[in-house]
Every structure is written in C-alpha cells, then in structure tokens.
Structure 1
Amino acid sequence: MSSLRFTLSLALLVALSGSAAAADKLPSFHGDPTQTSVSGLSSGAFMAVQYQVAFSGSIKGAGIVAGGPYYCAAGNVANAAICMGQVPFVPPNPALMVDAAESAAALGQIDPLSDLKNDRIYVFSGTDDTVVRQQAVDATVAFFKLAGVPDANLLYVNDVPAGHAVITPSFGNACDANASPYISHCNVDGQGYDQAGAILTHIYGPLNPPATQPSGQIIAFNQRAFAPATSAMADTAYVYVPKACADGQPCRVHVAIHGCAQSAAVVGDKFYTDTGYNQWADTNNLLVLYPQVDKSLIPFNPQGCWDWFGYTGLNYAVKSAVQMQAIKSMVDTLLAAP
C-alpha cells in the first residue's frame, strides 16, 4: 500500500511538467476525449449524473453509487430530503427530471438527450444505505430509461447488503456501515466485490486485470487554476497517472468524484488511493482524476458536498456551472497534448 501513498518526485515532476516551477500545474497527456467516463458516491454521484447528462455527447458512461436523478432538487435545498429518498412513499419524479433536462437541451445548455442512447450507465444502491435510500436511486434508473438509455446499457445493482459507501473487495468498514470514510468492503457470491472494476468494465467492456501493486504516480495539482474559491472547490486536487500514460501511450480519463465529508481534507488519501480505481487504471491506460470539494461558509457548504441543489447558483446542473466547467476543463487539460 505504501507505493500508492507518495507524492511525485521532483525529477518526475520536471519530466511531466517541464520545470520545477510549473510542477503544480496539471500535466497533459495523449488520449481520446470521447473515451472519458465519470463516477461518484452520494453528492459525487449526483454530480456524476449531472456531468454525464450535460456532456453526454463526449462522455462514454457513468457509475452512480447512491445518487438521485438529474436536477432532482430543482435548485432548492428544501427538496433534498425527497431526492435522497428520505421521505417515505414520496420518491423523486423522474418524468419531471426528464422534462427539465429536455428543456435545458432545447436551450443548448446541455447536450441533446439523444446522445445518451450510446452511453453505458452503472447504478448501485445498497440495501442498508440509510443516507440515500433505494427509492431515490430507483428514480435515477427510471430517469435514464426515460431519457433514452437502452436497457442493455443500464446495469442496476440493488441487492448487496451495503451501507452508504464505495465498495471494495477488502478495504474499509463492514459492508453495512453508513460511516466515514464511506468506503466499505462487501462479499458477493463468495468473493470481495470490486466496485471500481464493475463500473469500469461495464463502461468500457473487457479490461486487463487490475495491477496488484500499481506502478504509476499520484500527482497533487493546483485546482484553483480551474475553479475560484467561490466554487467551494479545494485548492488542491489529484490525478493518478499510470506509467504507460507518463511514457506517452494514448490514455483515456475516468473522473472519480468523492461524496460529502469525503474529500482529502477529511479522509486523507483514502478516496484517491483505496477505492480500487488506480489498480484498474494502471493496466488499462486510464488517467483517474480526483477533483475535490471542501466544506465552506461562502458558499454555504458545511458538509463539503458537490453542488446538486444550487449553492453555487441556479445554473448548477448545466455545462456552464462553475463546478461542471471546472471538471470539464481539467479533463480537457489532461488530454491536451498534441
């Protein structure tokens, strides 16, 4: 595990960035931007839904772990309880969310919903999740179906006795936990459930087996270059760079978005080292981007959540939203090498 928990040496930073002075900049690599994918937990899952829907023309697929449908809160935090499935017998209405997405697409604020028909969507809801309950996640599945995602492209896993967490084969809390760091281990059919692998395989198809000991590097970079402090996004974010990508081979990007109270400021390096993405990335030429949001008073974000209800502005769910645009700019930068 220690090989995953180190910062990039000065020599490699120079090699990647060109000079020691530029070491805090996000480096660029070769790759295909149309092979980008996204996943997230909780508020990160709501953000992953928003990102997938808004940029569906250039996003290959998404992994949604305990997240509700697109534009569920409609810009009002008072709707959050319904969107999280916390109001018995009052689930979110996915048809209303599709109407909202169609209206945004008609205005050119997001990509046409027809672009979703070629995308692949993985959705997960643990049966013991007490934070985002299954009736909310059921609505997410219904939303994607109504929006045009074919059944063959949509995988819904809703029978694992998991709490509110990213699921790994062996790291983290007991399977049914609903507690920090919101990473848990579960067994399915007698073996550890590798959620990162399940997400990436569903999106990309058959992949090389994951690395036992990743040989790439985690780079901490200046996220403020992409998002102002008023976005609630942290000063620093992270990207995992497989050796093959650093050596110039073509790569693709997966964006892994943490949940509330799960940024590096709260859980340290656990989300960007222990959720399993890096092992799969290492053998499959995947750059894994780990953007970060921290708690703040201005804007009011006391739990360090991604904006899925409008604390950064009423345009939070469209392409021009400050957090959405920041992620898109980071992805574009990662794949900007000529």
Structure 2
Amino acid sequence: MPLALLAGCSAQPPPPLPAITVDPDRVAVAGLSSGAIMASQAHFAWSDRLRGAALVAGPPYGCAGGSLETALGPCIEASPYLPDASRLAGRVRERAAAGQLAPLAGLAGDVVYVLHGRDDAIVAPALADSVAGVYQALSDEAGGLRVEKDTDRAFPHLLPTLDSGVDCSLGGEPWLGRCDFDAAGAMMARLFGEPGKAAPAEAAGELHRFDQAPFAPAGLDPSMAEAGYLYLPPDCAAGAACGVLVAFHGCQQNADKVGESFVRDAGFNRWADVHRVAVLYPQVRSSYLPLNPKACWDWWGYTGEAYDTRDGAQLRWLAAALAALGAPMP
C-alpha cells in the first residue's frame, strides 16, 4: 500500500481521528526539544497508562516552574546553575501524592531513554543529567524503572536520521539531520523491544490528517493547530491490535512551519511497520497571545498554571485524543 496523505478539502475541517484496536500495554511517548519535555510531562501525568518515554534534547520535568525567564535560563542554558534533579523529583512526589500526576508506582517497569547530542548549541547537553536524574531519584518508589542516558554522540540540536534532513554538521530547520544514526529506530527499540527485522526503506502504511478541535477541554484553549497526523501501519489499519507512540515535534518543527518533514521523515513510520505501532503526531499552533511564536509545547505555563499536571490543557487534550484513538485513558 503506498504512503498516502488523506487530507480533507481546505475549506472544510480535517477528517476525524480514526479509532483503532490498541494494545494497552504498548503505549509510549517521545519527543524532541520542547517535545521531549512535553513527553516527560505526559509520562509523569499518565505513567499508569504508558510504558515509557524517549526524550531527545529537552529540559527536565518541572524545570521552569511556570516562569519563562527560568525556562530560558537554567532550563535551556544550564546557567547560572544546572537544574537540581533531586528538587524536581521532590515536586513530582508532591504532585503524585496530590493526584495531579500518576501514582509513582505507575513508573514501575517503564523505560526512559534520554538522548542528547554533545554538539547541541541550543539546549545545553549537560541538561541530560538532570533529565535522567529526575527519574533516577524516583527509582526507589518505581521498582524496575530503567533509565538509559545516551550522550556521547556528535550531533547538534536536532533529531538524527540516517538520510533525511539537513547536513548533520550544520543543523537547523527542519531539525532533522543526516547524522548516520537512526534515532527513531533506537527510540522505538527501547520502548517496544528489539525488532526481529530491519525497517523497510519506505513506510508502507497511511498518514492520516485529523481534526484536533474535538479533544480540547471545555473552557480551555490548549493552543493546538487545526490538524494533527496519525500514521497507521497496514496491520493496524486492518484491525490488528497495535501499540501507540505519541511523537511530539520540537519548537519550529510543527507542520505549519516545516510542512510534513517531521511526520514523514523522522523515521518513526518505517519502524512503526515493524513494531506494529500507530504513531500519533499532535500539532501545536504558533501564537503571540499567548506568547508562543515558535509553536513550542507548553512547558512554562502559557496555557495556564496547571500546564504540567493532569489538569493541564494540553495534557487533557492528549488524554482525550488517545481515548478516542482507543487507548485506555481515564
């Protein structure tokens, strides 16, 4: 089956999100940059429903504390100080105890893969220690939590691929780079197990465009774009039980900015065919009110104070979208 984009007429809203048969034990999240911390926020919020997170070049959970100034300082530059993983883990404990995040037992047995290129000049590579450190500080409460840190590879601030995107040594838009490293394959192997075969040269399934508006929580604006994307491998489209990977784009990597580069070329779709995993690509919109001109995911509070808890507008949107897809969300 050829890779096809099922798009509605531009004068009409995009089609609804298809429902599939979801294997509840094989749902995970991944992301780049602001998408990485969004994946971490989703993981802590719904760890009782997810199996793990793959985090590329992002800040640690809870780092900004609702402050854009803090987000742009220690959370991006690791200056004037490196975020304290123990303190941030303590905040996770408090929120979990209050029901604002999943119980810490939900992390038991999960996999967390932290990938950060040592040539990253945008988000300090030292932050990988804090990202992994938050999870490691919670390991006593989450038996069997596996945290892997991969920080010795030479690539800048982007998602490495084998042959898609820009010259790896240059970096830049669309934030995919030909780095001779298949990061998507490595991420999915950690989250869904080592594959029994290589990925095909091209994805064989379908890329669907879907309407994101129905999943907005009542009375809140999650700042989502009109349309998101869902990749369905042939087996999933045929009704087989499939896992789900939510892949969060980075800042300036949304479809309105880079077209379909991320949703087609990041490498997830080819491996989705092998792992029998649907890939959900939600999309944020850029705005100046609230201030988010680069279409970043909310990790400092532009959608409201509860942004990184179960009550946050974008996390509530995600839970509703996953439930509509067929995942066992509350």
TM-score (norm 1): 0.89
The answer as to whether partners of 2:110 and 2:145 remain within 8 angstroms in 1 is no
Q: Deviation at 1:319?
A: 1.0
Which residue is 2:234 aligned to? 243
Which residue is 2:258 aligned to? 267
Question: Which of these residues, 178, 185, 189, is aligned with residue 201 of structure 1?
Answer: 189
The answer as to whether partners of 1:28 and 1:336 remain within 8 angstroms in 2 is no
Question: Which of these residues, 152, 173, 177, is aligned with residue 170 of structure 2?
Answer: 177
Which residue is 2:244 aligned to? 253
Which residue is 1:16 aligned to? none
The answer as to whether partners of 2:23 and 2:243 remain within 8 angstroms in 1 is yes
Q: Structure 1: where are the runs of 5+ without partners? A: 11-20, 187-191
Q: What do residues 137-168 of structure 1 show as CA deviations (whole Å, max 9, x unaligned)?
A: 21101111002167872221101110000111
C-alpha distance 316-289 of structure 1, shift in aligned 2 (>3 A): same
Give the 5 Å matches for 1:1-338: 3-4=2-3, 6-8=4-6, 24-88=15-79, 90-148=81-139, 153-186=146-179, 192-208=180-196, 209-227=198-216, 230-335=221-326
**What SS class does the counterpart of residue 168 from structure 2 fall into?**
coil
Q: Deviation at 1:336?
A: 6.1
Amino acid at match of 2:67: N
Taking the aligned partners of 2:314 and 2:238, their CA distance within structure 1 comes to 30
**What SS class does the counterpart of residue 281 from structure 1 fall into?**
helix
Q: What do residues 89-109 of structure 1 show as CA deviations (whole Å, max 9, x unaligned)?
A: 511111111111111111111
The answer as to whether partners of 1:315 and 1:321 remain within 8 angstroms in 2 is yes
Q: Deviation at 1:299?
A: 2.0
C-alpha distance 152-293 of structure 1, shift in aligned 2 (>3 A): closer
The answer as to whether partners of 2:223 and 2:285 remain within 8 angstroms in 1 is yes
C-alpha distance 207-302 of structure 1, shift in aligned 2 (>3 A): same
RMSD after superposition: 2.2
Q: Deviation at 1:71?
A: 0.8
The answer as to whether partners of 1:33 and 1:332 remain within 8 angstroms in 2 is no
Q: What do residues 45-76 of structure 1 show as CA deviations (whole Å, max 9, x unaligned)?
A: 01011111111111101110001111110111
Taking the aligned partners of 2:160 and 2:71, their CA distance within structure 1 comes to 24
Amino acid at match of 2:110: D
Amino acid at match of 1:217: E
**What SS class does the counterpart of residue 50 from structure 1 fall into?**
helix
The answer as to whether partners of 2:115 and 2:151 remain within 8 angstroms in 1 is yes
C-alpha distance 81-299 of structure 1, shift in aligned 2 (>3 A): closer
C-alpha distance 260-118 of structure 1, shift in aligned 2 (>3 A): same
The answer as to whether partners of 2:59 and 2:128 remain within 8 angstroms in 1 is yes
Q: Deviation at 1:284?
A: 2.1
What is the percentage of aligned positions where both structures have the same residue? 35
Amino acid at match of 1:216: G
Amino acid at match of 2:192: Y
Q: What do residues 229-276 of structure 1 show as CA deviations (whole Å, max 9, x unaligned)?
A: 832110100000111111111111100000001000000000000000
Q: Deviation at 1:113?
A: 1.8
**What SS class does the counterpart of residue 176 from structure 1 fall into?**
coil
Amino acid at match of 1:25: P
Which residue is 1:189 aligned to? none
**What SS class does the counterpart of residue 122 from structure 1 fall into?**
strand
C-alpha distance 178-29 of structure 1, shift in aligned 2 (>3 A): same
The answer as to whether partners of 2:230 and 2:278 remain within 8 angstroms in 1 is yes
Taking the aligned partners of 2:222 and 2:41, their CA distance within structure 1 comes to 16
Which residue is 1:13 aligned to? none
Larger CA deviation: 192-201 vs 176-185: 176-185
Taking the aligned partners of 1:248 and 1:51, their CA distance within structure 2 comes to 27
Larger CA deviation: 29-38 vs 234-243: 29-38
C-alpha distance 150-171 of structure 1, shift in aligned 2 (>3 A): farther
Amino acid at match of 2:107: L
Amino acid at match of 2:43: Q
The answer as to whether partners of 1:239 and 1:289 remain within 8 angstroms in 2 is yes
